[in-house]
Structure 1
Amino acid sequence: MTETTDETDDDREVPRDVVDEAERLTRLARDATVDEEAAAYRDDRDAMVAEYDFTARVREDDRDTLVLYPEDWVEEETVRPDRIEDIDRGIERPLEGPGSADDWEVVEEHNREIAETIESEHGDPHGPNAHALADFASNHYAKPVGDMTRGELQEFLDEYFPRNAFPSDDQKVVVEKSVELVLDAADGSVDTIDSGR
């Protein structure tokens, strides 16, 4: 189960910005110190994804993960495997990062500013690639793009980007250069990419 399909952004069952907001609300619920506040965040999240006929769960294991299931997979709060025809319809987002949702929001704002700088200065296709890297850094590691390790950047290039960013051919050709532009703008090291890939 992934966040991927071969559909364009407009054709997805759940738009990317809705998935992002569902993750944000889940993080806020996890960080809330009052039960009623946490419940309100979860209710808002559940109502939002229900508009797309999906339901939200948090799978708790070594790495807690937000999972969005199509409602037709679920009966009485339980996922029925016999109803799953296409596992890729499910959407997963790891819930990693700092303990404070406020900290996560600061990281997200920082990463988004870097991506917008790249978009403004370099245009397409580097802009969309920079935003994809910002999504990855914020949502999967909750860290500034300039602090990404070599391994994390390789994970972005090899796994996240081709499966989650829905890149055009033009984006694919320049993605490594896009990453270098982002790291340069963020004062990160550009000696992090395996150029022999």
Structure 2
Amino acid sequence: MESAHFTEITLEVDGTAHTVRVDNRVTLLDLLRERLGVTAPKKGCDHGQCGSCTVLLDGRRATSCLALAVAHDGAEIVTAAGLGNADALHPIAEAFLEHDGFQCGYCTPGQICSAVGMLDELKAGQPSFVTADLDGVPELSDAEIRERMSGNLCRCAAYPNIVAAIHDAHPHGAAR
């Protein structure tokens, strides 16, 4: 008999299907890290303010610390670890390495997922707060990158290098 406080859900995480019974109060971040051993998303603030836990949830970037796991039964989750591997890095990850877009590296998985998601948003023509022409496809300016990445904090202040990495990876950014 299913307890009122637990629910069985199925998720696909980085290409692997998982069926787990979870407490209805468990966040997606805690499920990923503590139950499934997926440690790419980091627990930074646990309030959705730093972006260290950013993943791609059904193709859109999301802060996993604010998402209840039970609300995403059947979802596809891609973490930074699922965007590539040691033999074939994702173009965003390659650009981060080339441009030294990290220092301590704690925020890097969230930054990479957010960069992939924001480039997909840009490609789809979704405007941001700084987009001048709301009817056209937004240009990838420094202001657009900074605005779209503003939910991802880097305590080491590697922002100029992150912006350069995203510019460099732009033609390839939406490809997975």
TM-score range, shorter chain: 0.3 to 0.5
More strand as a share of residues: 2
TM-score normalised according to structure 2 size? 0.36
TM-score normalised according to structure 1 size? 0.34
More helix as a share of residues: 1
Greater relative CO (CA pairs within 8 A, separation 6+): 2
